[in-house]
Amino acid sequence: MSPNYIRSFSEGCLRPPTVIGQFHTLFFGSIRMFFLGVLGFAVYGNEALHFSCDPDKREVNLFCYNQFRPITPQVFWALQLVIVLVPGAFFHLYAACNSIKQEDILQKSSYTGFYIFSVFLRIVLEVVAFWLQIQLFGFKVNAIYLCDVGAVEKKFNITRCMVPEHFEKTIFLIAMYTFTVITVILCVAEIFEISCRRLGFLKTQ
């Protein structure tokens, strides 16, 4: 890929053809990633080290933590951010390879339809991630986790484990749910903006 294609691709990703799309890029790329990268590490960074069970043995703690966290929230949300970016990245790669200017995307029906499809796919991926987050983490982190430790400790079947900073984690969960909802709303609003521009209710950029 030539430097011109790379420059066109990066400009397309950073400056989508709609006002709401540009705001979405700012919100998604800056606020959401900063929140996850900085605050997420502060809240979840040492969780495994402070997760303790009764009896407080290394193998029991590790076994129960893996049961409690099949996937760590930071990894899940990082995967979510990357996967949600894929549809838009594919579109802007297509636009760069075909020398499509950002201002022309809303002028030609085929380009507009392709772009709307990428936004709609982004909505679907966010909704799927929202559902998976509910299945994996729920809406609240309890202070006590009951772990089935029979495979490790023959004396016990169920043991109690202390979850560190459970209240902070609950607040963080709610914040990530809120970010997902805001992103979906922005995507729906972007499709509405495109429709208004195509119908002539708004001037094209």
What pLDDT does residue 201 have?
62
Identify the band that residue 5 occupies on the pLDDT scale cut at 50, 70 and 90. Answer: very low
How is the chain split into domains, by residue range?
Answer: 18-204
What pLDDT does residue 82 have?
86
What is the rounded CA–CA span in Å between residue 15 and residue 1?
20
- Give the angle subtended at the CA of 166 by the CAs of 63 and 183, to the nearest 5°: 105
Q: What is the mean pLDDT of residues 71-85?
A: 87
What is the rounded CA–CA span in Å between residue 65 and residue 56?
12
What is the rounded CA–CA span in Å between residue 162 and residue 149?
14
Tell me if the domain spanning 18-204 has CATH number 3.10.150.10: no
**Mean pLDDT (the chain, rounded):** 81
Choose from 45-49, 127-131, 170-174, 181-185 the range with maximum mean pLDDT. Answer: 127-131
SS3 (DSSP) at 53: strand
Q: What is the mean pLDDT of residues 57-84?
A: 87
Asked whether residue 103 carries a pLDDT value surpassing 50, the answer given is yes
At 47, which amino acid appears? E
200: left (phi over 0), alpha (psi -120 to 50) or beta: left
More confident residue, 23 or 121: 121
* Distances in whole angstroms, Cα of residue 83 to Cα of each of 79, 108, 129, 146: 6, 27, 10, 33
What pLDDT does residue 108 have?
78
Task: State pLDDT tens for residues 121-163.
Answer: 999 999 999 999 999 988 999 999 998 887 776 676 888 889 9
Question: Which residues are bridge partners to 160 per DSSP?
Answer: 146
Task: State pLDDT tens for residues 24-68.
Answer: 777 776 777 787 777 777 788 778 888 888 887 888 888 889 889
Q: State pTM to two decimals.
A: 0.82
Q: Measure CA of the first residue to CA of the last residue in the chain; give whole Å.
A: 28
